[in-house]
């Protein structure tokens, strides 16, 4: 992968201002952690997406889609191959009656804001989620009783080896922090969201209340990737971690948040090694003391 010839061939039709060699990824993730990727490319058209992914698939070049990087931890050594991000053409949001059609790169908070502006209810829960629509569907993001599966009715997907396909809600297999995209490696391009007519003032009041709860309970003042662990059956990860005496526990510059034990925060200069060591220690101690085995919710990229 040290030979740059593969990069030059891949970039033959990519505009010069939309790619970077050996780009550090820390500034592209909410954790503010991550080494360089061999090549970072911004994709702006469907044809470009299909061509670039097909090239990588055909030549065996590893590739990743980063989105807004809010639910990932990138290894300190970085990533070999290509990291793709969608450009502004994939961030469009349009209103179609009681539905919204939004591109994968559209921030979830902006999608929720657009819904409120048109007096459409159903996305209040998403107004404070920092990720993109694509990541939200990929993980079936949710909070405060709402999930993407409640509103997504169809999605356009680019499936490597197949092409562009449309999946309905059932075919997307949206479950707790999972979707069919995690099984197939498909890339969400845009989604259709079915909402309910409502009163704008009421919708905005609900959004304001939920965002106030987030600020009060979550360590938004520090870089993090949100909730680190999935909710185990019959319990809550944060409560188990706190009960195990790990609230505030740290390794290096990574710390279990004193504000919310379900979060691991970057105190400044934390490495992926710090975070991974802390995750493992939390898992082991919680298992020893409670019998629950916590499963990470965040995606870990680059680790062998």
Active centre residues (catalytic): 177, 227, 297
Nearest to 153 by CA among 98, 194, 112: 194
Q: How many angstroms from the chain centroid is the CA of residue 190?
A: 15
Spatial distance between the Cα atoms of 60 and 69, rounded to a whole number of angstroms: 24
CA distances from 233 to 173, 191, 236 (A): 19, 29, 8
DSSP structure string for 121-145: ES-GGGTT--SBHHHHHHTT-EETT
Spatial distance between the Cα atoms of 24 and 207, rounded to a whole number of angstroms: 35
User: Residue 104: which region, alpha, beta or left (left: phi > 0; alpha: psi -120 to 50)?
Assistant: alpha
Q: Give the Cβ contact number of residue 234 at 10 Å.
A: 6
Helix axes 108-117, 200-217, angle to 10 degrees: 150
Measured in residues, the chain has a length of 304
Side-by-side strand order, sheet with 19-24: 19-24, 36-43, 79-86, 63-65
Spatial distance between the Cα atoms of 193 and 178, rounded to a whole number of angstroms: 18
């Amino acid at each position: 992968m040290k030979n740059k010839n593969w990069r030059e061939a891949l970039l033959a039709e990519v505009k010069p201002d939309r790619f970077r060699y050996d780009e550090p990824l820390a500034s592209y993730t909410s954790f503010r952690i991550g080494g360089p990727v061999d090549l970072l490319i911004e994709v702006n058209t469907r044809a470009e997406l299909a061509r670039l992914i097909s090239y990588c698939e055909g030549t065996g070049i590893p590739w990743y889609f980063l989105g807004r990087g809010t639910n990932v931890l990138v290894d300190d050594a970085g990533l070999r191959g290509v990291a793709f991000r969608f450009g502004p053409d994939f961030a469009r949001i349009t209103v179609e009656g009681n539905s919204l059609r939004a591109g994968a790169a559209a921030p979830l908070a902006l999608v929720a804001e657009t819904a409120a502006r048109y007096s459409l209810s159903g996305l209040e829960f998403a107004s404070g989620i920092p990720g993109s629509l694509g990541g939200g569907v990929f993980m079936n993001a949710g909070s405060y009783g709402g999930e993407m599966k409640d509103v997504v009715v169809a999605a356009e997907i680019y499936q490597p080896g197949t092409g562009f396909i449309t999946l309905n809600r059932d075919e997307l297999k949206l479950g707790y922090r999972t979707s069919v995209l995690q099984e197939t490696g498909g890339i969400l391009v845009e989604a259709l969201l079915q909402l309910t007519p409502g009163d704008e003032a009421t919708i905005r009041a609900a959004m304001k209340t939920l965002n106030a709860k987030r600020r009060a309970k979550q360590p938004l003042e520090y870089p993090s990737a949100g909730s680190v662990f999935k909710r185990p059956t019959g319990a809550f990860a944060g409560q188990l971690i706190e009960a195990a005496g790990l609230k505030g526990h740290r390794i290096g510059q990574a710390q279990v948040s004193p504000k919310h034990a379900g979060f691991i925060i970057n105190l400044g200069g934390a490495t992926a090694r710090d975070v991974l060591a802390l995750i493992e220690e939390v898992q082991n101690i919680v298992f020893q003391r409670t019998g629950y085995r916590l499963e990470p919710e965040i995606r870990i990229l680059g680790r062998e």
